[in-house]
Structure 1
Amino acid sequence: MTTVTRHEIRRAGPRFGAEVFGVDLTRPVDDATAQELRQAFEDHKVLVFRNQHLTPDQHVAAVSIFADPFDHPTAVKDAANPLVYPYNVKQTGKASTWHIGGLWRSPVFAIESLTYEEVPELGGHTLWADLQTAYDDLSEPFKVLLESVNAVYDGDPENYAQGSKRTAVGETVEHPVVLAHPDTGRKGLFISSSALRLTGVTPAESKALLDHLLRHASSPDYTIRFGWNPGDFVLWDNRATWHYAVDDYGNGARVYRKVIGVERQGTAAAS
């Protein structure tokens, strides 16, 4: 049975991010609500749904509202659904760097999403930064320079698997430092702390540019922060934001499930 919902979307910050109230993602939503949620995602880039307690199948169905769930070639898979990837930071390690998901792939993931199962009593929040607004605030001459260079990343998906011991970089992949969003056309920075170098400039220039961009894009001026409770569900635009899991909780528990989404077949950025 399709559930018709009356929901509310509350902005969580002045630039981006929102919480959605009144939508039960444990049941199918009607077409009108699904379209409104897609528009809200385009507008706000990060959406949080509290107290959902999604099963693996429900998590996949929720992501399917926005994109096609992706079968990751190297991720550890949940026994209940192979499109769900379980994480326990005590085994997989923490991701306490500013990063974008799926940089080994071109195009990268359209969205990433998490369902939280266990969280520390205090801390363990997640930060996102709005890479499009960070780009807007750059000078015009600097934007021209950045549009002429790419960033180089490790192209081996094995090196991005949970708990993997990274091998030496072999195959690489390049991504533009300035990305025109395939859905909206809006330009934004597209940079991650794992960038190896920039193309078309000297090594010294590459280091200086990367250091500046990473510092600029992670400024508090562009960030939003969410804390978590078990059952919370969050998804974010992986092409317009980057994220950082704050490591301030010591040996506390942080257990969650991830589902990744890619552009639907037939769209401008289909994979």
Structure 2
Amino acid sequence: MTTVARPEIRRAGPRFGAEVSGVDLARPVDDATADDLRRAFAEHKVLVFRGQNLTPDQHVAAVRLFATPFDHPTAVKDPANPLVYPYNVRHTGKAATWHIGGLWRSPVFAIESLVYEEVPELGGHTLWADLQAAYDDLSEPFKALLASVNAVYDGNAENYAQGSGRTALGETVEHPVVLEHPLTGRKGLFISSSALRLTGVSPQEGKVLLDHLLRHASSPDYTIRFGWRPGDFVLWDNQATWHYAVDDYGDGPRVYRKVIGVEPLRPAS
């Protein structure tokens, strides 16, 4: 039986982010509800669905409402579904930096999503920052400068897998530091803490610009914060936000599954 109740969207912050209720993603979702969810995602950029308790197959089906699930070439795969990637930070290590997923490829992932299985009793929250709002607040002369600047990243997918030993830097990939969103057309900063350098400016200028952009984009003015319970499902726009997993829970548990989406679906007009 398909879900027919319309989703309730509750804003989590003044700029972006929302919690969604009234939808059971463990069941098939009708077309009208799916389109409501895609519109909400385009507007809010981060959507949290509490207590969904999705299986790996249901997790993939939920992401498929928004984008095509991605078969990652280097990630460890869940035996229940090869499009699902299990993480246990006690084994894989933590990702406590501001970052964007999939910088080794172009374009980067459109969507990332997690289903939480175990979480610490206290702490272990996740922050997101709105890179489009951060761009909006830059001066017009500074925006004009950034229009011709790219950031250089490690292009080896192996070096982005949690728990992997980093190999020597090989090929690199460049991304513009200002990205026009492929679905909405809205411009935003597109920068990650793993950037190696900037192009289009001198090395000295690039260092100053990069330091400034990283500080500016991570300002509390642009952030939201969510805490977790087992069974929670979250997905976010990887081309409009960056995120940070807060490492304040010591050796407590943090176990989750990830599904990645590319080729995002546009909501109906």
Secondary structure, in 3 states, of the residue corresponding to 1:263? strand
Judge conservation of contact 1:5–1:29 (CA < 8 Å) in 2.
Answer: no
**1:105-116 correspondence runs (5 A):** 105-116=105-116
Q: Look up the match of 1:192.
A: 192
1:65-115 C-alpha deviation (Å, 9 max, x unpaired): 000000000000000000000000000000000000000000000000000
Match for residue 34 of structure 1?
Answer: 34
Query: Unaligned regions of 5+ residues in structure 2, if any?
Result: none
* Equivalent position of 2:154 in the other structure: 154
2:136 equivalent in structure 1: 136
Paired with 1:226 and 1:43, the residues of 2 have a C-alpha distance of: 18
CA distance in 2, matches of 1:31, 1:6: 11
Whether the aligned pair in 1 keeps the contact of 2:102 and 2:108 (CA below 8 Å) is: yes
Note if contact 1:5-1:30 (Cα within 8 Å) is conserved in structure 2. Answer: no
1:174 aligns with 2:166: no
Give the % identical residues: 85
Aligned residue type for 2:32: A
Q: Which residue of 1 aligns with 2:235?
A: 235
Please tell me whether the aligned partners of residues 60 and 69 of structure 1 are also in contact (alpha carbons under 8 angstroms).
Answer: yes
Which amino acid is 1:138 matched to? L
Deviation >2 Å, runs of 4+: none
Partner of 2:85: 85
Does the CA contact (< 8 Å) of 2:85 and 2:257 recur in 1? yes
Distance 1:41 1:7 in 2: 12
Contact 1:70–1:261 under 8 Å retained in 2: yes
SS of 1:41's equivalent in the other structure is helix
Aligned-partner residue type, residue 217 of structure 1: A
Corresponding residue number in structure 1 for 2:164: 164
Q: What residue in structure 2 maps to residue 43 of structure 1?
A: 43
How far did 1:162 drift?
2.5
User: Counterpart in 2 of 1:66?
Assistant: 66
2:101 and 2:108 in contact (8 A); partners too: yes
Unaligned runs of 5+ in 1: none
Query: For residue 174 of structure 2, what is the amino acid of its counterpart?
Result: E
Please tell me the residue identity of whatever aligns with 1:234. Answer: V
Q: Is the 8 A contact 2:7 2:37 kept in 1?
A: no
CA offset at residue 7 of structure 1? 2.2
1:76 and 1:162 in contact (8 A); partners too: no
- Measured against aligned partners, the alpha-carbon deviations of 1:188-244 in whole angstroms (never above 9, x if no partner) come to 000000000000111111110010000000000000000000000000000000000
1:183 match = 183
Structure 1 residue 264, shift from structure 2 partner:
5.0
SS in 1 for 2:163: coil
Cα shift readout 1:26-53 (whole Å, capped 9, x = no counterpart): 0011100000000000000000000000
CA distance in 2, matches of 1:154, 1:227: 31
Query: What displacement does 1:6 show?
Result: 2.7
Q: TM-score, normalised by structure 1?
A: 0.97
Q: Secondary structure at the match of 2:174?
A: strand
SS in 2 for 1:38: helix
Root-mean-square deviation over aligned CA pairs: 1.0
Matching residue of 2:10: 10
Q: Which letter maps to 1:202?
A: S
- Aligned AA for 1:58? Q
Match of 1:117 in 2: 117
Structure 1 letter corresponding to 2:21: F
